[in-house]
Structure 1
């Protein structure tokens, strides 16, 4: 039984090696959907940064203030990645949030310093992050450009974690974290939409960990082969 389990683990790890080190898929030119995705996500990031900063000044509870700080940190990082990617693909981005996003924050800000502010902020953030997840899933399913789709996949755990933090228009605390691989540049830690607590780490670190695991499997396989030969 142990031999079978080890063999199954070895096959899985070697398959990961092949998938990780194999050639990348051909990259298509950004289509209208790809460009629209970058534009919408960029505006969403800018809106979340502004809303997060506003919450730190105008919310009444520590939980909402902390959530705002987390959103500023994570969306600033994600928008840096989006901006760099758009620049390399020559996709022009908007200069600020949309009129609708500005209007939403203005309405929430009018309740500054009251419990109504916290409630309105949390409800808006829950709706915003649900919409962003839908947008990300659409890009993953039908995106034409491989780099943009990879960026969507990398961002998804962070957006899901944000949604879990404000789900139901209620501010939830954070739980202990575990690590999972993500895209280039790394992401922040938290809980995903399925209640799993995750820490997304840089793509380079994930790649290094996979290669290390592959090397370990190969070494162990050689040792088992030698041991079997010695018993004969």
Structure 2
């Protein structure tokens, strides 16, 4: 069974092709490409992906301008209907700015761009994104961001913890994120935002260069959720 996925491209996106390639390699079906200025999404989508990059040059705040793009009205409406949405890096920033996820992504502690492979601890494994992992498992996924410091007030953080909505944590301090949070889920588990780039860790032939294939299981989990539906 294939996966009908759409990848949104904003001005300044630079990981949209990587995301589309990852989705096609895992599902065998080319991803649909959608421009930020479009008013509508393709019909009958199984997944919407917001990729990494520097939408609108990160002016105002990272993801702030992209969150007001015409296509985001359709993305929000689709998410409200239960269509799964994956936001990676800048996509995570867009999801918080669009209020599809709580919190905000601030400038990294130390004020430096971080580009390396990070060890993550898997939290929630009940979502369609994370079912292919084991709770507490340590995986390795590349990160590349300047504004990846996840922030939320204590009440929100406690709620995320209590509802099991922390999908991934940094196994070691990375960017100053509150409680080392690297990825969070929406209340219904169908929206995931994460700063690490799973689409950069899917290719067995590139393990030496990219550090592993732990990101592949995230896409396989998504595919399996629709195959078993």
TM-score by length of 1: 0.31
Identify, as 1 or 2, the structure richer in strand.
2
Identify, as 1 or 2, the structure richer in helix.
1
Larger Rg belongs to: 1
